[in-house]
Structure 1
Amino acid sequence: MSATVTYLFDPLCGWCYGASPVIEKLAQHNGIHLVLAPTGLFAGSGHRMDAAFAEFAWSNDQRIARLTGQRFTEAYRENVLGRHGSPFDSSAMTLALTAVALTEPLREREVLKALQKARYVDGLDTGNAQVVGDLLRQMGLDLVADQVAAADLALLERNASRLQQARRLMRSLGAQGVPGLVVHTASGHRLLGGNALYGEVDQLLEQIANTCGNRAS
């Protein structure tokens, strides 16, 4: 099987974090070309953490943990959800991922995974641009960190274009949120909903193969 698959996500999405083990296995499968497409769902939202949202998020996170086995630690609960007034905004992370895609494209998935671990396991507020920059430097991505800090017009325009492209794809397929996978074939595109990302990777690969076969027929 050979297929190009676009992964629609937001780095602040807990369900996307829950899907990351399957995404990792999918990306390592021969014949699958995985394209990361951040949607900016929580970028520039203007939302700030408060007690009600923190309670809702933690309850949701526990559902994700039970379904996927992904960890949401007390450090995350206390230092991220407990920081009332802090922005719930994926702008810095999304910009960092775009900068990585432009300069170190083979490391973009690694950076996304590191950002998710930093938040949900280590309890670091990755909505904070300084935290994101520090993490990039710890990964040896000093140039990327400098680009994100400078946020020059070229990077901002490329980031905006990337988000617009992902959103257009979502609208065209009727996607209501993230995560989602889009399978591309010569005759069109097919959306696989988020539920496809919480089972076994073999089942997901079978869905992708069937989609390619159906589209090709």
Structure 2
Amino acid sequence: MSKTLQYLYDPLCGWCYGAMPALAKLQGVAGLTLELLPTGLFAGQGARAMDADFANFAWSNDQRIATQTGQDFSEAYRRLVLADRQQRFDSGPATLALSAVAATAPAREYDALKAIQLARYVEGRDVTSAASLVAILHALGLSDAAALLAHPEPALVSLNKARTRQAQELLQAFAARGVPTLLLESAGQRSVLNSSALFANPAALIEQLAAA
């Protein structure tokens, strides 16, 4: 029986970055379709200035994520991203980039998300910059998505809004708090899975999905 796992995320969410190794393994579960949906949680009204207090909070939280997941939050990220007072905490541009990928090469959205996260958290690059995001997509061979992002047309903006609206409606419908959130659809039924398993015991989560 086919199953769909909807992964609700934000590209600037540290816990979503921490979940990427487990997510990679989930892609290999037989009979499971993985659907990525950006929530826009840290875009628009959810964006904010990167002041010293927020940067310190983010770094402290990132270290906790690193301890639990083994994911790298580099000094380059701390110095070039968190210490940059001109760079806002705004996932809007990265979310739009991922929608450009969804529009042109949907099977590559995971690859694009991973590359954007590595660019930010390891390389210390500004993924709130459209030019930086276009370069990342080009490096992945996603030239159509890069061209779309370089000159966004109304269709891309509409798609982006529709994707984030769908994700937000799902969060509300299932009273899910924050991201990452996992929704499993099987036999016509949809349920929320405990996303902490992405960090604590991904093997058990994979077994649960395989048996669902």
**By the TM > 0.5 criterion, same fold?**
yes
Take 2:94 and 2:101, find their aligned partners in 1: how far apart are those partners?
10
Residues 48 and 88 in structure 2, CA contact (< 8 A), matched pair in contact too = yes
Q: Deviations over 1:145-165 (max 9, x none)?
A: 121121111110011011111
The aligned counterpart of 2:26 is: 26
The aligned counterpart of 2:138 is: 137
Residues 50 and 85 in structure 1, CA contact (< 8 A), matched pair in contact too = no
Q: Which amino acid aligns with 1:204?
A: L
5 Å matches for 1:22-171? 22-44=22-44, 45-171=46-172
Take 1:121 and 1:41, find their aligned partners in 2: how far apart are those partners?
22
Instruction: Name the CA shift for 1:209/1:142 in 2 (closer, same or farther; >3 Å).
Output: closer
Residues 19 and 198 in structure 2, CA contact (< 8 A), matched pair in contact too = yes
Take 1:51 and 1:128, find their aligned partners in 2: how far apart are those partners?
21
Q: Deviations over 1:139-189 (max 9, x none)?
A: 222221121121111110011011111111111111010001100023421
Take 1:110 and 1:147, find their aligned partners in 2: how far apart are those partners?
17
Residues 80 and 125 in structure 1, CA contact (< 8 A), matched pair in contact too = yes
Take 2:167 and 2:126, find their aligned partners in 1: how far apart are those partners?
25
Q: Deviations over 1:40-75 (max 9, x none)?
A: 111123411111111000000000000000000000
Q: Which amino acid aligns with 2:31?
A: G
The aligned counterpart of 1:8 is: 8
Residues 47 and 91 in structure 2, CA contact (< 8 A), matched pair in contact too = no
Residues 29 and 206 in structure 2, CA contact (< 8 A), matched pair in contact too = no
Take 1:121 and 1:187, find their aligned partners in 2: how far apart are those partners?
40
What secondary structure, in the 3-state scheme, does the structure 1 residue paired with 2:99 have? helix
Take 2:186 and 2:142, find their aligned partners in 1: how far apart are those partners?
34
Q: Which amino acid aligns with 1:10?
A: D
Q: Structure 2: 5+ residue runs without aligned partners? A: none
Q: Which amino acid aligns with 1:9?
A: Y
Q: Structure 1: 5+ residue runs without aligned partners? A: 213-217
The aligned counterpart of 2:175 is: 174
Residues 29 and 210 in structure 2, CA contact (< 8 A), matched pair in contact too = no
Q: What TM-score do the two structures reach when normalised by structure 1?
A: 0.92
Q: What TM-score do the two structures reach when normalised by structure 2?
A: 0.94
Structure 1 consecutive aligned stretches of length 4 or more whose deviation exceeds 6 Å: none
Take 1:144 and 1:166, find their aligned partners in 2: how far apart are those partners?
21
The aligned counterpart of 1:195 is: 196
How far apart are residue 209 of structure 1 and its match?
4.9
Q: Deviations over 1:74-129 (max 9, x none)?
A: 00000000101311111111111111111111211111100010010111111222
What secondary structure, in the 3-state scheme, does the structure 2 residue paired with 1:198 have? helix
What secondary structure, in the 3-state scheme, does the structure 2 residue paired with 1:170 have? helix
Instruction: Name the CA shift for 1:128/1:82 in 2 (closer, same or farther; >3 Å).
Output: same
Moved more, 2-11 or 201-210: 201-210
Q: Which amino acid aligns with 1:171?
A: Q
Take 1:70 and 1:46, find their aligned partners in 2: how far apart are those partners?
24
What is the number of residues matched between the two proteins?
211
